[in-house]
Structure 1
């Protein structure tokens, strides 16, 4: 894995929010809206976490799996242009030439890559990437245990076949940096030693994977946003510490607001609304 985030494929693969919020045309044909799209991804992130508890892998594997899953359903055009030209501005002709030459694909639709198979497969792939390998037969066993519908009780063969598709969809870029890496140092530097404060911050970081933040922002900025929310919630004055950091505090605050908005809106989503979104994926 690359040691430096700024030279990694992860950095080059960061998207603008409007690029992430794109529903594939095939999914649109089935009536899937942007809200449906977000609901399904959030539910699959939660499902990955539940499945991970069953197969007993660490949180980092869960985070990497969720990042893979979200990348699969996100367009790749911007990333390719940055890899080839070093910046987001490119000539259409040159881009198309390289796009075809590299065999790169656009985002995958949920209609083609059913998230109920793609999500656990991403967990399987992430377990390899993070050197905490899950046996495919064990994963298949727990998938069947969690799903009562035979249609989604996937066999080993289906997981392995989807693994190759996921790898191709990711263009074999498996490097993911996480907020967990910088969080302990930030907490220490900010003088935050309270166990409740620390646990709250780690919990907030875990929750960021229910959103698309890892596709849009550098992980250390996400970590700072979580510390910011925890500081406000626990009424700890960290203003001076934040002002000393060489980061754009407006970005940190904007991420914090996005997280708070997610908490508020997510609790209003009913089981009926979730079911309605998934029903649109049916053939």
Structure 2
């Protein structure tokens, strides 16, 4: 695993926002709009999280799986790569990459236990076959750097470790957006600290000035995070309203 973000495949694959938010032409043909594309990705982030709670993996595995999921759809269409299968397969692949392996049969067991909708239910062979497709779609680059480690280091440096819970929760929520595909993890961590310090009325102005971080980028990331909360008002346990997501998901092809 690369020890330095700046020499890693993750850094080399950072994209402009236009590169992560574009709807594939095959999905456009099915009538999927840019907003619906975003809704599906948010919905499947919750899908990964719920399944991960059952198989009991670390937050890092969930974050890596969600990153894989979002990265795949910068290159592939949801029409060809069914997100209902891609999501659990990303979790399976991430569990291997993060050395916290979950057996495919265990994922299939919980999928069948948790979802009655046949469109979400798959067999072991489906996951194993999709794993090969995902590896190719990801160019076999599986190393992902996350904001969690720099977050803890920065909070310690600033002497505001009492903001850890708030800032950590903000980082978790950034995975319902495409920020991890666009910005270096430490910049996302700084934005979460910035928001947390405002929410908790902590004056971090001097500390940020001493860091010499690009505050325009920090504030832009912060605005994206806050806009996400304002735009979607998501139930942290249930995700998006069922009736809304069912309508959007109905535009995807029927399960093969």
Q: Shorter-chain-normalised TM-score: which range?
A: over 0.9
Corresponding residue of 2:233: 267
After superposition, give the CA deviation of every residue in 1:65-95 in whole Å (9 maximum; x if it has no partner).
0000000000xxxxxxxxxxxxxxxxxxxxx
| 2:117 counterpart of 1:153 | no
Q: 1:200 is matched with which residue: 154, 158, 166?
A: 166
Greater Rg by CA: 1
Corresponding residue of 1:168: 136
Taking the aligned partners of 2:212 and 2:184, their CA distance within structure 1 comes to: 14
Corresponding residue of 1:118: 86
How far 1:273 sits from its partner (Å)? 2.2
Alignment coverage as a number of residue pairs: 249
How far 1:21 sits from its partner (Å)? 1.1
Paired residue secondary structure (1:210): coil
Taking the aligned partners of 2:119 and 2:148, their CA distance within structure 1 comes to: 36
142-151 or 109-118, which deviates more: 142-151
TM-score, normalization by structure 1: 0.86
Q: Which runs of 5+ in 1 are unaligned?
A: 75-106
How far 1:149 sits from its partner (Å)? 1.7
| 2:40 counterpart of 1:5 | no
How far 1:260 sits from its partner (Å)? 0.4
Taking the aligned partners of 1:122 and 1:146, their CA distance within structure 2 comes to: 18
Taking the aligned partners of 1:151 and 1:185, their CA distance within structure 2 comes to: 43
Taking the aligned partners of 1:143 and 1:108, their CA distance within structure 2 comes to: 24
Q: Which runs of 5+ in 2 are unaligned?
A: 235-239
Taking the aligned partners of 1:112 and 1:261, their CA distance within structure 2 comes to: 30
Corresponding residue of 1:80: none
| 2:38 counterpart of 1:72 | no
Paired residue secondary structure (2:148): helix
Taking the aligned partners of 2:43 and 2:177, their CA distance within structure 1 comes to: 10
| 2:53 counterpart of 1:57 | no
After superposition, give the CA deviation of every residue in 1:17-37 in whole Å (9 maximum; x if it has no partner).
011111001100000000000
58-67 or 149-158, which deviates more: 149-158
| Equivalent pair of 2:150/2:186 in contact (CA under 8 Å) | yes
CA RMSD of aligned residues (A): 1.1
Paired residue secondary structure (2:161): coil
Corresponding residue of 2:151: 183
| 2:111 counterpart of 1:140 | no
Taking the aligned partners of 1:7 and 1:216, their CA distance within structure 2 comes to: 16
| 2:190 counterpart of 1:219 | no
| Equivalent pair of 2:84/2:119 in contact (CA under 8 Å) | no
How far 1:119 sits from its partner (Å)? 0.5
Taking the aligned partners of 1:220 and 1:50, their CA distance within structure 2 comes to: 27
Q: 1:244 is matched with which residue: 200, 210, 229?
A: 210
After superposition, give the CA deviation of every residue in 1:202-226 in whole Å (9 maximum; x if it has no partner).
0000000000000000000000000
